[in-house]
Amino acid sequence: MLALLEQIFQKKQAGTRLLQIAVSILLIVLPLWQARRDLNLAIANGYTTFVRRDHIYPIFAPDKAIRDAMKIINRIEDDAIVFTDWDKLYSYIYTAHIEEGRTGIAFHEATITDNPSLAQTTLAYIDANIDVRPIYFTIFIPELTERYQVQQINNTLYRIHRK
């Protein structure tokens, strides 16, 4: 009787182990199966459906980000501080630092929340540097006009000066 119970227990352990392996394989395979269309597109074309649908990256004009960044970078000094939107930040840094070798330009995200106001630390950083480095914004923040003189360079670039 004891031998029979031992055999049943061993079979149960083997069944449990087999079930664990099957579930583990399913957890790996199912996401890949669901993503097969995007994976095939990504491998064949270099982008997924959501990149094309949401226009995350200009797939039909890959140099557009660099050309857009150059419109700003060509207008600023080598030691400038530039505040910009999060979605432009990487292309500006890449274009200035890697493509152009202008590593003295400091780029920062202008606002972190949807509220277009500047943090106190950002204002302190600006005040500490405004007399020694040119400071630019690529987005208009109304709060700037209260504290600084804002000079519009073009439709997407603003330089600030002390009042």
At position 75, the amino acid (one-letter code) is R
> Residue 4: is its pLDDT beyond 60?
no
pLDDT tens track for 48-59: 677 677 766 666
The full set of domain ranges for the chain reads 2-54, 64-162
Size of the chain, expressed as the number of residues it contains: 163
Q: CA 139 to CA 109: how far, in whole Å?
A: 10
Sign of CA dihedral 126, 131, 135, 141: positive
Could you tell me which residues come within 8 angstroms of residue 64 by beta carbon, excluding any fewer than 6 positions away? 58
| Predicted structure pTM score | 0.66
CATH ID of 64-162, from 3.40.190, 3.90.930, 3.10.20, 1.10.3210: 3.40.190
Could you tell me which residues come within 8 angstroms of residue 36 by beta carbon, excluding any fewer than 6 positions away? none
Split at pLDDT 50, 70, 90, the class of 132 is very high
